[in-house]
Amino acid sequence: MAGASLAGTALTDKDGEFRRKASQFRNWITKDGEFQPEKGRYHLYVSYACPWAHRALITRNLQKLHDYIDVSVVHFHLDDNGWRFITEAKDDDSEGTIDHVYHLDRLSKLYSKANPDYEGRWTVPVLWDKKKETIVSNESAEIIRMLGEFEVLTGHKVDLYPEELKSEIDELNAWVYDNINNGVYKSGFATSQTAYESNVVNVFKYLDKAENILKDKYEGKDDKFYYLIGNHLTEADIRLFTTIIRFDPVYHQHFKCNIKMIRHDYPFINTWMKKLYWQNEAFKSTTDFDHIKKHYTTSHHSINPYGIVPLGPIPNILPL
């Protein structure tokens, strides 16, 4: 399975449907477990293009972990051998960074180091343990929760999953994941008209649902808060944001999610996204539209064989 073509067809089942496989490294950082929070022990491997890795970058930023967990960024272009790193350090990260830990040229080699028999896909994000030389987790949903454990060292914690909101967050995360986060991929990677149509219609059904949640809360109010759940920024906002910020620039055309646009048709989601982006540095500083656009449009050859990167929409996100 590892190395299967990202052209699209090898990712779909016989019925033309894309079904995402479960992540395989599922350890947890905990105060008194095998993987304890320690300064400098862990390293985060990400792609700036990837919505799942973007969750981890936003959360690292919100939890103020810059001095605790370093980051390596893969090149935006993904090929049949997976993600790669640039091998000579450069002043900017427009094409990613070197692998700061091992100077590897391929992410696949990191997975082999953790488990030589690994047969899954070589995905980002990866939370790497430099002490045990293994992968703690390659599941973004769990990585963003465990970053909260560093509170014992930093004395700082933004509670993104507060006790009293847990069930509401879980409920929202579940349908957002299946129908929106993963829904855009199911639309874009579909290799039959039927699979595409049912998935794309479904994406918009659930965007409508998210729009109505925000509308019910904020219509007619000039509220400084603008969050999906309660009056708090929670992981639910982070998890929806990383898909919505990519929607007009990429998913609308590249994944053919073009029944509506966020900026024209979803005023409440658009305001919510713009507030997060323009008013919270953790969201803006981790969003790299160049990596995002170039990654999708140059990596999926069956969707865009010549790898032409579309110029629009201009701008990628509207001002507040």
**Are 137 and 146 in contact, with CB atoms under 8 Å apart?**
yes
Residue 50 bears catalytic tag: yes
Site for ligand GSH in 11-40 (CB under 6 A): 23
- Residue 57 CA from chain centroid, whole number: 9
Which residue of 27, 45, 46, 125 would you call a contact of ligand GSH, by CB under 6 A? Answer: 125
Site for ligand GSH in 69-88 (CB under 6 A): 78, 82
Segment interacting with ligand GSH (CB under 6 A) among 138-146, 158-166, 278-286, 310-318:
138-146
Helix, strand or coil, per DSSP, at residue 156: coil
Which residue of 50, 210, 229, 238 would you call a contact of ligand GSH, by CB under 6 A? Answer: 50
Smallest gap from Cβ 155 to ligand GSH, in A, equals 28
From the number of C-beta atoms within 10 Å of its C-beta (0-12, 13-18, 19+), residue 128 rates as buried
Sign, CA torsion 307/312/313/315: positive
Which residue of 59, 123, 199, 234 would you call a contact of ligand GSH, by CB under 6 A? Answer: 123
Is the CB of 23 or the CB of 270 nearer to ligand GSH?
23
Is the CB of 185 or the CB of 227 nearer to ligand GSH?
185
Segment interacting with ligand GSH (CB under 6 A) among 137-145, 150-158, 262-270, 305-313:
137-145
Tokens of 28: 């947890």
Q: Does 139 bind ligand GSH (CB under 6 A)?
A: yes
Instruction: Count interface residues toward ligand GSH (CB under 6 A).
Output: 15
- Residue 288 CA from chain centroid, whole number: 12
Segment interacting with ligand GSH (CB under 6 A) among 133-141, 190-198, 216-224, 242-250:
133-141
- Residue 66 CA from chain centroid, whole number: 19
E strands of the chain, at which residues? Answer: 42-46, 70-73, 126-129, 134-137
Question: Please, where are the H alpha helices in 148-224?
Answer: 151-154, 166-176, 183-188, 193-218
Q: Quick one: which H or E segment has residue 20?
A: none
Smallest gap from Cβ 78 to ligand GSH, in A, equals 6
Distance CA 40, CA 18 (A): 37
Q: Quick one: which H or E segment has residue 128?
A: strand 126-129
Is the CB of 76 or the CB of 268 nearer to ligand GSH?
76
Is the CB of 37 or the CB of 82 nearer to ligand GSH?
82
Site for ligand GSH in 52-71 (CB under 6 A): 52
Beta bridge partners, 72, equal: 45
Q: Which residues are catalytic?
A: 50
